[in-house]
Structure 1
Amino acid sequence: MAIPLVFDPEARYVTSYLLKPATLGSTRLSLGIHALVTNLVILIWSGVASDQSGTYFSYFTHLSYIGVTAWFWASGVQTFAFARNRKNEDDARYPLQSWPKPLQILHELLFSTIATFPFVVTIVYWALLASSDSFSSPYLAWSNISQHILNSVFVLFELVFTDLPTLPWIYLPATIVLLGLYLGVAYITSSTQGFYAYTFLDPKKQGALLAGYIIGIAVGQAILFIIVHYAILLRIRLVGSKHRAPQHNHDEEKTVP
């Protein structure tokens, strides 16, 4: 049995069955630029228009969108590096494959979060938080479309049109722990700044419903993780024949009985 010693030996994190690596890299960086500009505009606007820039990082929506931004920049740069090496070498690689293992794990964890958290944001917002004010001004309409609709559209692009691998099961509990850590952020914000980022987290207003909301979001995250995992697996089976794994040298594999 051959055990690959290189991270992502099939280069699934930087390839697409539909797009050339350079095109995929350009698309990812374009989405990354859009997401970065969106983050900056909302941060600046919240400071200039309402003097609330200090609360920006208290919202899970913003933290999730920062994760989406980070993913498209990180994956875009890696994809461009792979495209460049592919032109010059038969054995194409990308930098992350030779980076320390902790950075590779963080890349996988980042993917696991952006593959699920944007859907959580979209579902919770439109199910619990949206109101008639969501589109009451051009700015609110743009910001809500960008952060509560396009966030999931961008992720769907990644899940459907690239060769990304399935989500490792080990990251299912990790993503739930991250959601739990956000609860800490929300209640620290309440204690230090006197408001709840999301009203459904206010125990005085919600009472016993609060536990239901928290458990429901955790269960919803687990269900979304499972759905995304098997959706990716289905895509791999449907279009797997179009994926061409790069050839690696024999010294990258270890043969064991």
Structure 2
Amino acid sequence: MRRWPWLPEPPFDPTHRFHTSWLLSPLHFFLLRALIALYCFVTIFFLLGWRSTHGMDEAARRSFSYFTSLTFWGIAFYYAFAAFHTGSFWFAGKPLLARWPTALQYLHAIFYTTITTFPFVVTIVFWAVLFDTFSTPFDTWSNVTQHALNLLFAVLEILIPRTERPPVVYVAALVVLLALYLGLAYITYATEGFYVYSFLDDGEVGRGGVAGYCVGILVGTVVVYGLVWLVIWVRLVVTEEKWGMAGKMATRRGVVHPGGAEVGEVKDQVEMSESHHSAV
């Protein structure tokens, strides 16, 4: 009997789809991911530093209660880990993720699903519900970075890697994370005395309004997940079946085949034909 019957057949990611691209070589894919991770972390710490030194200490502390900020932290950490694993694949022909316990491997896959789904929810809710005006250039930059560039970072992870469609069961993980955040939002109100988002204030929008917003965001998240699933499927069909671009698998030490073994001399890249390892 399979240990986790609701997840894809083991082994996890046998052809290293999370760490390779149909478009970029492992080296260039590593550099792209590392650059995005660096930009995200520089942005986060610059925002914290700027607010703390410009009389906005409270705003800096409160940022950890906002779904926008937490999602951006998630993007930063995901790209850092993804760059690390892609770099280890480029250097040694096998990502360190392949040596991790199975549970951590699937948590990485769920992590991937969150950063290809939640940024869309953040951006839609901000521009449709929360946006008012930008008062300063700093305010403009910080909001555009967290509510527009975040979307770009999500799209890049949908289109550039060779990742498969996420299992439907991962929707449950997204729902659980949204529920946990809702709890955090009300814990923040109970301890700090403010609502992180005005639509969570039943005194302003009524209990029915709060419930409506929460259900709407939940449904929107599921819809976004479905659309992302569909886009990934289209990418797989177009790049691998129509264009025959199954993946650039060259490493520093040799050409890596699906089993991960080195063969032959070093090449800049190799197109590897493989059967799909479906994740559904």
Relative to the length of structure 2, the TM-score reads 0.82
- 1:147-202, Cα deviation, whole Å (9 max, x unpaired): 00000001111111221221121110110110111011110111110101111111
Check whether the contact 1:6–1:97 (CA below 8 A) recurs between aligned residues: no
1:40-189 to structure 2, matched below 5 A, reads 40-49=45-54, 50-52=56-58, 53-85=60-92, 92-132=93-133, 135-189=134-188
Which structure has more helix as a fraction of its residues? Answer: 1
Give the structure 1 partner of residue 259 of structure 2. Answer: 248
Deviation at 1:4, TM superposition (A): 6.8
Superposed CA RMSD in Å reads 1.6
Structure 1 counterpart of 2:209:
209
Contact 2:17 2:163 in 1 (8 A): yes
Aligned to 1:194: 193
Given that 2:72 and 2:146 are in contact with CA atoms closer than 8 Å, whether structure 1 keeps it comes out as: yes
Give the stretch that moved more between structures: 152-161 or 119-128: 152-161
Counterpart amino acid of 1:113? T
Distance 2:63 2:203 in 1: 23
Whether the 8 Å CA contact 2:119–2:151 is kept in 1: the answer is yes
Does the CA-based 8 Å contact 2:30-2:84 persist in structure 1?
A: yes
Higher relative contact order (CA 8 A, sep 6+): 1
Please state how far the C-alpha of 1:243 moved relative to its aligned partner: 1.1
Q: Is the 8 Å Cα contact of residues 94 and 260 (structure 2) preserved in structure 1?
A: no
User: Is the Cα contact below 8 Å between 2:27 and 2:87 reproduced in 1?
Assistant: yes
User: Aligned AA for 2:245?
Assistant: K
Counterparts in 2 of 1:5 and 1:191: CA distance versus 1, 3 Å = closer
Q: Give how far 1:45 is off.
A: 2.4
Displacement, 1:249?
Answer: 6.9
**In the alignment, what sits opposite 1:237?**
237
Task: Please list the CA deviations of residues 75-129 of structure 1 after superposition, one character each: whole Å capped at 9, or x if unmatched.
Answer: 00100111112xxxxxx32111121112102101110110100000000000001
Matched with 1:226 is 226
Are the counterparts in 1 of residues 86 and 95 from structure 2 also a CA contact under 8 Å? yes
CA distance in 2: counterparts of 1:82 and 1:249, whole angstroms: 10
- Pairwise CA distance, 1:6: 3.3
Gaps of 5+ in 1: 86-91, 251-257
1:30 lines up with 2:35 in the alignment = yes
After the TM superposition, which segments of 4 or more aligned residues of structure 1 sit over 4 Å from their partners? Answer: none
Partner of 1:89: none
Q: Aligned residues, how many?
A: 240
Structure 2 residue ranges without an equivalent (≥5): 1-7, 250-256, 262-280
Corresponding position of 1:254: none
SS in 1 for 2:57: coil
CA contact (8 A) 1:116 1:225 kept: yes
Q: 1:4 to 1:206 in 2, by over 3 A?
A: closer
Say if 1:118 and 1:155, in contact at 8 Å, map to a contact too.
yes
TM-score norm. by structure 1 comes to: 0.90
Q: Which moved more, 1:142-151 or 1:4-13?
A: 4-13
